Amino acid sequence: MLLQLQNTILEKIATGQSLAETIDYLCREVEALAQDVVCSVLLLDEDHRLRHLAGPSLPLEYTDAIDGIQIGPGVGSCGTAAFIGRPVQVEDIETHPYWQPYKGLALPLGLKACWSTPIVASGKVLGTFAFYYRVARGPSDAEKAIVQACVHLCAIAMERDQRIADRKRMAETDGLTGLPNRSRFNTVLGEVAQRPQVWSLLLLDLDNLKMVNDTFGHGAGDDLIRVVAHRIAETAPEGMAFRLGGDEFAVIIPCIDTLRPADLAARLIALIKETADCGGHLIYPAVTMGGAVIVAGEGPDQVRQNADYALYHAKERARGRYVQYTPGLGTSIVERFRAVQEVGLALREDRISAHYQPVVELATGRIMGLESLCRMTTREGEILPAARFMEAMKDAHVGLDITDRMLERIASDCGRWNAMGLGFSRVGFNLTAADFYRGGLTRRLTETFARHNLSPSMIVAEVTESVYLSQKDSVVSDEIHALREAGIKVALDDFGTGFASLTHLLTVPIDIIKIDKCFVKRLSEANTGAVIIRGLLEIARGLGIVVVAEGIEERSQAEQLLSLDCASGQGYFFARPMSSDAIEALLRKDNHISAWSAFLLESERELPQAAAG
């Protein structure tokens, strides 16, 4: 019988049955084998407390009473056996000193004696296996044989269960900080959501981690993450601080009646911003936080999304502070958030591409260069201009990802065309403020083009007036100087919408100005547009700057600009933005805008006839 029981228990262990079910089955079978015994198995936890595992014949009030007892000398039979690591045999509970504090629990239940054996594996006590007797006595030889076999089986089962628990704990623990990770966060969030209390979620974003990594190295960055993680853990409710990955952390507040989210956020921000020694460097950490509170009818996913919206808003408008979600916060954030998600998906699915619009020499119709324009293709095949996903581009991370993708595509296209001998001199590339403040812009441009055997002189770095004029520091102007020194031409886009830029041209020189289309449209309005453009052209010529007129949509506009000695222009009249294949076909056929070239040629023929007439 005992051999059959051993085989059955080993099979249950091998097939992955739970520890509690396996040991409960063992206790029941042992009680059937050994007459007049009550079997009990306790686990020893990391705090050296005994935890009830199995005892099918013990009443609930007894198992509850002994659950969590600290082991030690003289702590009943089981507490003492676990402490000393040897069997403890008490043949009379009523008189034995080990049981004096506890006999009031056992004697009313008719438990007169207790023999406990420690369960040991790999030199470590994992728990205890005990027989209670209803008469004052010790174990028989047969009972000793049963217990010896059962203790061995319990050790196998418990050790396997601990290995599984350890693997799960490792899988749910962040290796750098020791905090629970995203997987554990998802589990706990689901558990908290089932409780009746009103709970809250705070999301934290560690500011300037990339700057620390770039400046002091990743070792210092890792130290910073560890410091911040420790400060969050010691301030948050126990077990409710998580590292979600990278520079993202989360804190769950299980009940806001006892801890208000704004109060905890204030404490976290104050504690985290204290100076920290990271790799021998003194760093001032900072976090930006967003939070949301569960409301009726919402699930954990909605609360998390609301907290995400609040964090997004805080990063845009309140760096280093806490923003709590309110229903009115959502509309613009949701739109941008969705746009960011859509563009991010398009980047991953390779649906971001470069289209090109020719820049035309007005006097000849020759294609002087190209302006690259970002396009996104939807899953349905619709091609969207950048204006349709501009909200997403305002996000610095998305904007930089777009820049990297576009730069590589443009360099690849131009390298191919250049190798084919197709004629054009330069390609324009639009830059944002984030591109400048990221650092290393000139190096990235030149290195990317060099990989495709292209000279930096082929690049036109286009900067809008909003970037050019809003110089709170020297970052933009310094980078513009670096670009020009590397041989890259710098163009000021949408020129004329901010006249303060005229004075800036003296301190931060550029190579090209692109007259905004709003002035081109006014060419026919009582000569107003012509006067302004003539003035801009004269200023540009005086400064040695090339002028490109944007937004030319009618032949009359092109004619007027040519009469004003404007050298070049672009717009729908000449060509709409087109795919790389289409622009390649155009360059292969003729690097001129044929309709405009034909018009110019016809006009030249008419001039001598008119003079002769």
Whole-number Å distance between alpha carbons of 407 and 414: 11
Are residues 170 and 257 in contact, defined by beta-carbon separation less than 8 angstroms?
no
Report the amino acid identity of residue 82: A
Confidence (pLDDT) at 498: 56
Which helix (H) or strand (E) element contains residue 49?
strand 49-54
Angle at CA of residue 99, ends 96 and 100, nearest 5°: 90
| pLDDT score for 315 | 84
16-31 pLDDT, tens digit each: 899 999 999 999 999 9
Q: What is the pLDDT of residue 503?
A: 64
- The 10 Å CB-count burial string (b at 16+, else e) for 256-285 is beeeebeebbeebbebbbeebebeeeebeb
Overall average pLDDT of the 379-406 stretch: 87
d(CA 427, CA 459): 5
Q: Is the pLDDT of residue 607 over 60?
A: no
Least confidently predicted of 51-65, 132-146, 158-172, 409-423: 158-172
Q: Partners of 428 in the beta sheet? A: 371, 460
Q: What's the confidence (pLDDT) of residue 101?
A: 93
| Across 591-606, average pLDDT | 86
Q: Quick check: 38 and 45 in contact, CB under 8 A? A: no
Of 525, 526, 528, 572, residue with least CA distance to 549: 572
Give 183-238 pLDDT, tens digit per residue.
999 999 999 999 999 999 999 999 888 888 888 899 999 999 999 999 999 999 99
pLDDT of residue 609: 52
Question: 430-469, pLDDT tens digit by residue?
Answer: 998 889 888 899 999 999 999 999 999 999 999 987 787 7
pLDDT at 265: 96
Q: What is the pLDDT of residue 413?
A: 96
CA dist 573 and 593 (Å) reads: 10
Highest mean pLDDT among 521-530, 532-541, 545-554 belongs to 545-554
Give me the percent of the chain exceeding a pLDDT of 90.
67
pLDDT band at residue 42 under the 50/70/90 scheme: very high
In this prediction, residue 264 carries a pLDDT of: 96
Do residues 24 and 58 touch, judged by C-beta distance below 8 A? no
Residue 332: predicted pLDDT:
66
For residue 524, give Cα distances in angstroms to 363, 520, 559. Answer: 20, 9, 11
pLDDT band at 487 (very low <50, low <70, confident <90, very high): very high
Q: In the predicted model, what is the mean pLDDT of residues 390-400?
A: 81
User: d(Cα 546, Cα 491) in Å, to the nearest integer?
Assistant: 9
Residue 611: pLDDT over 60:
no
Dump pLDDT digits (tens) for 46-93. 899 999 999 999 999 999 999 999 999 999 999 999 999 999 999 999
User: Do residues 203 and 196 make contact, with C-beta atoms less than 8 angstroms apart?
Assistant: no
Query: Rounded mean pLDDT of 315-331?
Result: 83
pLDDT at 420 over 60: yes
Residue range 578-605: mean pLDDT, rounded:
89
* H or E element in which residue 59 lies: none
Amino acid at site 408: E
Residue 522, pLDDT > 60, answer yes
Mean pLDDT of the chain: 90
Residue 523 Rama label (left phi>0; alpha psi -120 to 50; beta):
alpha
Q: What is the pLDDT of residue 158?
A: 95
Question: Which one-letter amino acid corresponds to residue 475?
Answer: V
* Local structure of residue 611 (DSSP, 8 states): H
Domains of the chain: 2-171 (3.30.450.40), 182-325 (3.30.70.270), 350-424+574-604 (3.20.20.450)
Chain segment 342-379, per-residue pLDDT in tens: 898 999 999 999 999 999 999 999 999 999 999 999 99
Q: Given a cut of 50, is residue 613 above it in pLDDT?
A: no
What distance in Å separates the CA atoms of residue 335 and residue 22, rounded to the nearest whole number?
A: 54
Given this model, what pLDDT does residue 3 score?
A: 86
Report the relative pairing of strands 459-464 and 426-431 from DSSP bridges. parallel
- Do the Cβ atoms of 41 and 55 come closer than 8 Å? yes
| Pairing status of strand 49-54 against strand 37-44 | antiparallel
What pTM was estimated for this model as a whole?
Answer: 0.55
CA–CA distance, 498 with 496 (Å, rounded to integer): 5
Which of 578, 569, 525, 572 has its CA nearest to residue 550? Answer: 569
